[in-house]
């Protein structure tokens, strides 16, 4: 579904993403982990069209999307959320999600169809009680959920999530893992998920990619990653 080939992105003298190659298959939940500053968000920004890579190719559903506009990439079915939440805070929860439903993947939907889709997604993610609240009134964890809902309402083939777990209680974390699993199983959306909270990522992904100083230093199942010496040294440390 997604094929990233030898992608490099530098800022001046700093190579934030350095010759990264990987793929995500239809139906997978893939984790992307690595220390602060490893280049994870830069990689997302490069895949989603915010930056053009200096080198390399990004293909999605057999289409070359390298350097395409973010809106065109979204229409093609590749949607992302942001590490620093970017809800539309002058708007209600419903209007935020309606934006995704209207302008998401595929053709622009009619108002009726988009409203139906937004309503259904709010129920799916348990946000119907907050429907008419402004997102500025919500705590951060719920604003993140609104952003996830806006992404799901786009009806993408692949949803890239840039950190959702920070600051959640253990119960909220369990719920997040269950939600992401339901996004895959009930909506047929594949997921590429950046996360620092190890319990979440180790327990919910099919495969994990480990980025360190811009390069992928390991990839494998959660079990393989947990016992990889280089990963433990670079990142996991005492967490496992
Ligand atoms: N727009 C930019 N201009 C200059 N340097 C940047 C820019 N964006 C990121 N960087 C640098 O690129 C490196 C990778 O940053 P990035 O945000 O991709 O890391 P990350 O893995 O997402 O980290 P974190 O886990 O803290 O979110 C860092 O050294 C960062 O300072
Ligand atoms: Mg980041």
Q: Looking at the domain that runs over 2-77+156-239, which CATH code has it been given?
A: 3.40.50.300
Q: What is the predicted pLDDT for the residue at 238? A: 56
Q: What is the pLDDT of residues 166-175, one digit of tens each?
A: 888 888 889 9
Q: Is the pLDDT of residue 92 over 70?
A: yes
96 beta partners: none
Expressed in angstroms and rounded, the spacing between residue 188 Cα and the centre of ligand 1 is 31
Confidence of residue 213 (pLDDT cuts 50, 70, 90): very high
pLDDT in tens, 26-37: 999 999 999 999
Does the CB atom of residue 40 touch ligand 1 within 6 A?
yes
Strand order in the sheet with 158-162: 78-80, 158-162, 190-194, 29-33, 207-212, 215-220
Q: Say how many Å lie between the CA of residue 26 and the centre of ligand 1.
A: 28
Query: What does the pLDDT average to over 152-181?
Result: 93
166: Cβ below 6 Å to ligand 1?
A: no
- Higher pLDDT residue, 237 or 168? 168
Ligand 1, atom 29, residue with closest C-alpha: 37
pLDDT given at position 235:
77
Find the ligand nearest to 9 CA. 1
Backbone angles phi, psi at 73, to 5 degrees: -65, -40
**CA 37 – ligand 2 centroid, Å:** 7
Residue 239 predicted with pLDDT over 60: no
Domains of the chain, residue spans: 2-77+156-239, 92-155
Quick check: 79 pLDDT over 90? yes
The residue whose CA is least distant from atom 27 of ligand 1 is 36
Helices (H) and strands (E) in the chain, counts: 9, 10
């Amino acid at each position: 579904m997604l094929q990233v080939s030898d992608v490099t992105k530098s800022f001046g003298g700093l190579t934030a993403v350095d010759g990264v190659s990987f793929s995500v298959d239809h139906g997978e939940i893939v984790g992307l982990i690595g220390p602060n500053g490893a280049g994870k968000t830069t990689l997302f920004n490069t895949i989603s069209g915010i930056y053009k890579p200096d080198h390399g190719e990004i293909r999605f559903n057999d289409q070359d999307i390298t350097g395409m506009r973010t809106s065109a990439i979204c229409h093609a079915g590749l949607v992302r959320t942001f590490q620093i939440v970017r809800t539309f805070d002058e708007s209600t929860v419903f209007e935020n999600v309606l934006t995704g439903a209207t302008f998401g993947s595929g053709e622009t939907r009619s108002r009726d169809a988009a409203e139906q889709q937004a309503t259904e997604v709010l129920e799916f993610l348990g946000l119907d009680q907050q429907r008419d609240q402004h997102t500025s009134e919500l705590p951060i964890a719920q604003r993140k959920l609104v952003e996830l809902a806006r992404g799901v309402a786009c009806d993408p083939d692949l949803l890239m999530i840039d950190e959702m777990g920070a600051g959640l209680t253990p119960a909220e974390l369990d719920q997040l893992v269950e939600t992401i699993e339901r996004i895959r199983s009930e909506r047929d959306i594949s997921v590429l998920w950046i996360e620092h909270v190890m319990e979440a990522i180790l327990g919910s992904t099919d495969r994990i990619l480990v980025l360190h100083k811009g390069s992928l230093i390991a990839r494998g199942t959660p079990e393989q990653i947990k016992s990889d010496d280089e990963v433990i040294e670079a990142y996991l440390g005492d967490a496992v």
